[in-house]
Amino acid sequence: MKSNEEMIKALRELIQIDSVAVIGESEQYPYGEKSALALEKALKLCESLGMKTVNRDGIIGWAEAGEGEEIVGILGHMDVVPAGEGWNYPPYELTEVDDRLYGRGVVDDKGPTAASIFAVADLLEENVPLKRRIRIIFGQSEETGNWPDMEWYREHEEVPVFGFTPDADFPAIYGEKGIVCMDLSIPVEKLQLESIEGGDASNVVPAWCRAIVNGKAYETTGKAAHASTPEDGESAISKMMEELSAIVPNDPLVAFYQKYVGKCVHGEQMGCALQDDKSGLLTMNVGTIRIKDGVLKVEIDVRNPVSFSSDEVTVPVKKAAEEFGFHFEVTENTAPIYMDKNGTVIQSLLEVYREATGDLSEPEVIGGGTYARAMDNIVAFGPMMPGRELTEHMPNEYILKEDLILVRKIYREAIRKLVNL
């Protein structure tokens, strides 16, 4: 069996690639040159560990092991969100400090994908017969919210009968909220602001914002967090809007923000503070503000509870935006998913997790969006242990070394169980 240090060495090489996806960068690199490089690195790793690998012209890649007519799928992704500001360690280096492994992607999603690769390698070394093939499918655009890689895969490749994506939390995830992303835009000549920019991505709570008003520069800082858990962060854009409300209260952007967003993260001021017993509260994150080509654009990320339609979000936001002269556009509208938590796949994964940890926690519904939405019968499973600090999309993203090692063991046994169901 390959050592855990070999796994960490392989992860280090993946982390060194700043694979932020750029969809449509070129025909040769459909998601950007760095994402293509990360995919090729992952495939070479799998090949060195005895797996068959396929790269479909950079659109999608996969590695396979075992025999059988059906496949169990493991859906990981090689792209990451931008590093952003506020790091104490180099984001594109794997840094080990006090049993923590730091680096962009160690949690989301290169770390758990590497654990999956080595889990499959472990099973190959055991040389035991498996009823199904194991296929690790490597996406490159998960963080963009648009998944042309997985869409292409569904249309052209063999689809797994079931499987998991190592891109969320333990013990297991049986539902995900809907995701609605919206752009608001307005010509800069209608603003009183000379310039403004803030945030790194729509699905990240903005940790910085800078503006110029009447020749004076303003800057605010916050705390990054995943857009699905904005209460864990602190929006620098919200801070900026509050500060500017005392200077240019009638500016359309400032007035809109203060009336309909403020410091709320659940849509309270927007009139869409939806909630249900299955998945909890709606979350709303204003992720970025930019001026480009004479137009100011605001990106908003909303995760709506599984019991509600996207119209119950888009209608009030559109009305509020148009009140202040903004053009409104929906850029992503992904329906929620909700599975039977007593189904065979989830219960099989729960059994493995509980045996490895002794933790009897129940499966959950989350606000994050994972590749579990990309294909039927795919479940989000790990890598985060209950009670751990959530650091994906944040500065100083890290995973405990002991957790990554345990994740490898859990995935090995989970794959063994799924291929023999």
* Residues catalogued as catalytic: 79, 142
- Residue type for 255, please? A
Closest CA to 197 of 85, 76, 363, 94: 85
Instruction: Look at the chain and count its residues.
Output: 421
Q: Is 116 helix (H, G, I), strand (E, B) or coil?
A: helix
What are the distances in angstroms from CA 22 to CA 29, 217, 362?
Answer: 9, 31, 37
Question: Is residue 367 left, alpha or beta, with left meaning phi > 0 and alpha meaning psi from -120 to 50?
Answer: alpha
Q: Are strands 133-139 and 71-77 parallel, antiparallel or unpaired?
A: parallel
Cα–Cα distance for residue pair 411/111, rounded to 1 Å: 12
68-106 b/e (C-beta count within 10 Å ≥ 16 → b): eeebbbbbbbbbbbebbeebebebbebbeeeebbbbbbb
Nearby residues of 343 by Cβ (< 8 Å), 6 or more positions away:
none
Cα–Cα distance for residue pair 258/265, rounded to 1 Å: 13
- Per DSSP (E only), the strands in 222-367 are 275-276, 280-281, 283-292, 295-304, 327-334, 337-338, 364-366
Cis amide linkage into residue 171, ω under 30° from 0: yes
Angle at 385 between CA 384 and CA 387, to 5 degrees: 110
Cα–Cα distance for residue pair 80/200, rounded to 1 Å: 12
Closest CA to 2 of 421, 413, 408: 408
Closest CA to 404 of 91, 7, 6: 7
